C-alpha cells in the first residue's frame, strides 16, 4: 500500500504543477488586469499561434477556471497513474495537437482555457480502455462515462461564448492518440497497477524463469538495493542485493 500511495502522489505531480501554473497565471491576470486573453489562440493568424502554448493556461473568470480545475487534475492524475509509460507523450501531444487543430479549423475568435485538453484526455482514457479490452482500464472507461458523460453536449455549438470547437477537436485528438498508441502501455491480461517488468523475471531454484506478473508490485529497487527472492540457497559470497551501491 505504501508503494501505491507513493505512486499516486508521483502521478499527481505533473498535472498538479500544471494546475498550479494555471492558477498563478489567472490570479496575476485578475489582480494586475493584464488582459491575457490577447495571448489566446486566434485561428489562422500567425500571432494566434502563440495560443497553442498559452491558451490552456488562460481563463476568463473564476467560474471558468474552477470548472476546468478538478477535471484536469483528476484526468491528468489518472493518465499518469494507469498509463505511466505513455502519459507524458499523450499529455503533450494532446496539449499541442488540440491547439493546432483549433488554430486550423475553429471560428475566428480568441479561444482560451484548458477544456480542449480535458476533452482530449477524456477521449483517450475512454477509448483506450475499450480498445485494449483490458478489464481494469475498461472499468476506468465506465467511470469516465458516468462522471463526464454529460460533457458530450459541449461539442455542439449551444452557447456562443463557449469554444465548442476546442471541445470537439480536443475529443478527436484524444480518440486519435488512443488508436495510435493502442499497442503500447497496459494490454489485455496485464495489470495497470503493476510495475512488473517481464524482462526482469527472477530465476527460481531450478533455473527456470518465474512469472511474478500477479504481484501488485515487482520486488525491485527497495531503498536503492536490488532485492531477490530468498530460495534458501547457500551462497559462498554475499548476494548482490547486499551491495552498498545506490543507483
Residue in the block written with cell 471558468? 64
Taking a C-beta distance cutoff of 8 angstroms, is the pair 95, 52 a contact?
A: no
Tell me the domains of the chain and their CATH numbers: 2-180 (1.20.1540.10), 194-247 (no CATH)
| Residues contacting 166, CB < 8 A, separation 6+ | 98, 102, 106, 111, 113, 115, 116, 119
Tens-digit pLDDT profile for residues 6-63: 989 999 999 999 999 999 999 999 999 999 999 999 999 999 999 999 999 999 999 9
pLDDT for 174: 95
Tens-digit pLDDT profile for residues 117-157: 999 999 999 999 888 877 788 888 888 888 888 888 999 99
The separation between CA 151 and the C-alpha centre of its own chain, rounded to angstroms, equals 18
Grid coordinates standing for 130? 475499450
Taking a C-beta distance cutoff of 8 angstroms, is the pair 165, 111 a contact?
A: yes
Cα–Cα distance, 201 to 192 (Å, whole number): 18
Taking a C-beta distance cutoff of 8 angstroms, is the pair 125, 144 a contact?
A: yes
Cα–Cα distance, 16 to 79 (Å, whole number): 13
How close are the terminal C-alpha atoms of the chain, in Å?
23
Cα–Cα distance, 165 to 185 (Å, whole number): 29
Amino acid at each position: 500500500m505504501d508503494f501505491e500511495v507513493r505512486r499516486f502522489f508521483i502521478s499527481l505531480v505533473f498535472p498538479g504543477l500544471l494546475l498550479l501554473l494555471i492558477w498563478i497565471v489567472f490570479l496575476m491576470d485578475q489582480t494586475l488586469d493584464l488582459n491575457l486573453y490577447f495571448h489566446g489562440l486566434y485561428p489562422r493568424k500567425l500571432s494566434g499561434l502563440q495560443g497553442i502554448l498559452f491558451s490552456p493556461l488562460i481563463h476568463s473568470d473564476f467560474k471558468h477556471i474552477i470548472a476546468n480545475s478538478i477535471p484536469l487534475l483528476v484526468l491528468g492524475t489518472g493518465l499518469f497513474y494507469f498509463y505511466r509509460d505513455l502519459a507524458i507523450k499523450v499529455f503533450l501531444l494532446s496539449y499541442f495537437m488540440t491547439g493546432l487543430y483549433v488554430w486550423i479549423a475553429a471560428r475566428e475568435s480568441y479561444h482560451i482555457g484548458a477544456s480542449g485538453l480535458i476533452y482530449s484526455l477524456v477521449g483517450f482514457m475512454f477509448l483506450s480502455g475499450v480498445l485494449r479490452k483490458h478489464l481494469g482500464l475498461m472499468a476506468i472507461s465506465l467511470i469516465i462515462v458516468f462522471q463526464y458523460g454529460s460533457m458530450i453536449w459541449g461539442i455542439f455549438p449551444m452557447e456562443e461564448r463557449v469554444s465548442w470547437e476546442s471541445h470537439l477537436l480536443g475529443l478527436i485528438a484524444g480518440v486519435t492518440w488512443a488508436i495510435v498508441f493502442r499497442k503500447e502501455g497496459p494490454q489485455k491480461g496485464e495489470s495497470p497497477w503493476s510495475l512488473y517488468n517481464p524482462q526482469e523475471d527472477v530465476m527460481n531454484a531450478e533455473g527456470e524463469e518465474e512469472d511474478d506478473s500477479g504481484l501488485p508490485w515487482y520486488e525491485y529497487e527497495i531503498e536503492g538495493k536490488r532485492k531477490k527472492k530468498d530460495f534458501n540457497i547457500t551462497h559462498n559470497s554475499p548476494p548482490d542485493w547486499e551491495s552498498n551501491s545506490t543507483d
